[in-house]
Amino acid sequence: MGSGIAQKSAQERFNVQMVDREEKWVERGQSIIATLLGEAVERRIFSEAQVEEIQNRIKGIIGTENVNPKTDLVIEAVFEDFEIKNEVFTTLNEVCDKQTILASNTSSLSVNKLAEASGRPDRFVGLHFFYHPAKNRLIEIIPAETTSKESLDAVEQYCKTIGKVVIVCKDRPGFVVNRFFVPWLNEACLLLEEGVATTAQIDAVACEAFEIGMGPFALMNLTGPPIALHSTNYLAEQLKTPRYTGAQNLCDLVEKGVMWEIGDETDCTEEIATVISERLLGQVFAVCSQIVAEEICSMEDVDRGAKVGLRWMKGPFEIMNAIGVNDAYRMATAYATLAEFDLPPFFGTKAESGHAWEFNYVDVELTGSVATVRLNRPEAMNALNETLVVQLGSVLDDLNSNNSVQTIVLEGAGKAFVAGADVKFFVDKLRANAFHDIYEFTANGHAVLNKLESSPKTTIALTTGLALGGGLELALACDYRIGTRRSQFRFPETNIGIYPGLGGTQRTVRICGVEAARWAVLAGNFMDSKIASALGILTHLVDPADVNSTVLTIANQGKPSNKYPGTPMNTEHPVAKFASSFFSDANIPALLNGSCPEGFDEDDRNVSRQLKSLSRTAPIALRMASKLLDEAVQTDGNLEAGLALELSSLEDIFCTADALEGLSALIEGRRPNYTNQ
């Protein structure tokens, strides 16, 4: 775990000290990292040069006492022994400067007790990385009761910067995911012990019931049965729930030091399959209702933990909706009887209502006069769907009318700000011949973005991750856009048969000028943080550690004097200069016809790249996007008129065969074949 955390941090450009007691353990950690990065090179995830850069950011340190005193964050990752951890933190507290935040990567120990023992309880936080830390996107952050807001915010920013989906939860045994997942493993062992079915049958039924790739026994073989036994016994003791005590067959397996034998015969009777699925589902439903009742986290975060951390297709509450909350309650009640605990009353009330669980994807946090609005759908990279757009609009109405709020900050949970609109929605509606629904969704999106555009508050988009298509358009409606080195932007629409329909053809021109807008919109070029800053897509490019202070600085200065300068922020940047010449008015007819403009060398790398990108766009979408960009110039100061033109052309583009082809190809993972129809 320690080497994995070091690797992931270094991959995201943090300088890392990897510390152990002896040189051989440091070298072992470096060897593990080298092996994993070597595999990444073979899979073309990283180049050899990138791997060298990553490894150069990791410095091996022998002895905790030799940690650099000026380290910002120390993450302890020794095994789950309170006394050993306490010893480590005692040394760290003596060595590190006052500003250093200490964190423990723990899956079971009390964060409150660790914080108390750390010597700096206000600058201490629990972190629960999931295996493998360099690959699994989930992390649980567990603040102690004494953790300061500044420390929590800083650690959360670090976690976001390394691309994690964050669940902030209370310090309770098992936290979130292990609280329901570990008893699930043990319940499978009990089903086997009772003779209900074989390991293969239980795994097969579990895979079907939960829509997962590996059943409980296969998962235990992957992570190690001793971990499952230790974890379930810990929960049994801490939660005083004997049902969680490790099954005898699991104890025997661990004592022998062997793995589960899983045969090939998976078929069983429908009756047996029902017993297995209802027992396992009921256990998960019952425990997840406890998690929510104890306010450890929200039901949305429970689902998020299952989908991101365990890679389930649906979260527990989504599964309940799929099978019916009343049936889910029946299964949970049966399990609660076995486990000898009561279900929370809210579960029964919901079951009696006959209604499904309703999910909230927009969270609001008020800090003084600053309201932070978090789009919290990281399992889908915060893609804009009907529910999220409606909820965001409602939140903005409330904040715009709240006199105590002066600044509204938008951010996305996880590694993305917003990765565009939900493309499957468009495909489903087109195949159902229901363009009207697409129009209503887009028109409502325009209305919601206008709540930002016309807001009396200072509006800021924290585009510290990926912002694509509709997500970039959402950010452009804000007064300011703060980015870090991880920020990436793109308008992919012309490549998928449509044009940016939420203001992208209008606001982009008004921000950075028509030539730079053509470079971004027509060719769909990726913009890293430096290019985005040069063009003015980003108004502030800062280090991750400076994001919060930048928000406060902007909040104090208020709304910008000129939101739409109409020219790149840095006209001397190579991209700005190239766009100005290559995407000039005079060259557009040639580019739309697939020709190289006069005066440019087709073999030039920049020129050939743009011509190749333009050749892969849908011809109708390319022409319509170009026309709308021109109309942005013509409407100039009248943004409302430009947006109206963008919206009025929607049917013309979505009713083309190329639009359906491009959108379908995207969700099917293939290259589109455009026919200019």
Cα distance from N-terminal residue to C-terminal residue, the chain: 53
Indicate which residue of 76, 140, 300, 453 is catalytic.
Answer: 140
Task: Tell me the three state secondary structure of residue 656.
Answer: coil
CA atoms within 13 A on the CB side of 102: 31
Per the CB < 8 A criterion, the answer to whether 177 and 310 are in contact is yes
Question: What is the arrangement of strands in the sheet containing 362-367, beginning at the earlier edge strand?
Answer: 362-367, 370-375, 407-412, 458-462, 480-483, 540-541
Q: How far is CA 63 from CA 22, 68, 358, in A?
A: 7, 11, 51
Backbone angles phi, psi at 659, to 5 degrees: -65, -45
Per the CB < 8 A criterion, the answer to whether 292 and 303 are in contact is no
Task: Tell me the three state secondary structure of residue 33.
Answer: helix
* Neighbouring-strand partners of residue 540: 482
Indicate which residue of 12, 105, 128, 298 is catalytic.
Answer: 128
User: H helices then E strands: how many in the chain?
Assistant: 31, 17
Reading phi first (left if > 0) and then psi (alpha if -120 to 50, else beta), residue 416 is in: beta
Task: Tell me the three state secondary structure of residue 458.
Answer: strand
Indicate which residue of 110, 151, 178, 664 is catalytic.
Answer: 178
For residues 642-651, one letter each, b for 16 or more C-beta atoms within 10 angstroms of the residue's C-beta and e for the rest, the string is bbebbbebbe
Strand 165-168 relative to strand 138-143: parallel, antiparallel, unpaired? Answer: parallel
- Cis check: omega of the bond before 128, within 30 degrees of 0: no
Q: Which residues contact 649 (CB under 8 A, 6 or more apart)?
A: 499, 624, 628
Q: Could you confirm whether 178 is annotated as catalytic?
A: yes
Indicate which residue of 107, 151, 231, 529 is catalytic.
Answer: 107
Per the CB < 8 A criterion, the answer to whether 421 and 473 are in contact is no
Instruction: Return the number of other C-beta atoms located less than 10 Å from residue 572's C-beta.
Output: 8
Spacing of C-alpha 323 from chain mean position: 27
Question: What does 283-341 look like in DSSP terms, one character per residue?
Answer: HHHHHHHHHHHTTSS-HHHHHHIIIIIS--SS-HHHHHHHH-HHHHHHHHHHHHHHHT-
* CB-count burial class (<10 Å; 0-12, 13-18, 19+) for 220: buried
Q: How far is CA 135 from CA 8, 54, 198, 236, 587, in A?
A: 8, 15, 32, 30, 45
Please state, in angstroms and rounded to a whole number, the distance separating the CA atoms of residues 255 and 125. 35
Question: What does 490-555 look like in DSSP terms, one character per residue?
Answer: E--GGGGTS--TTTHHHHHHHHH-HHHHHHHHTS---EEHHHHHHHTS-SEE--GGGHHHHHHHHH
Per the CB < 8 A criterion, the answer to whether 417 and 465 are in contact is yes
Q: How far is CA 566 from CA 259, 511, 582, 630, in A?
A: 65, 5, 18, 13
Alpha helices in 194-224 (DSSP H): 199-210, 216-223
DSSP class of 380: G
Catalytic residue ranges: 107, 128, 140, 178
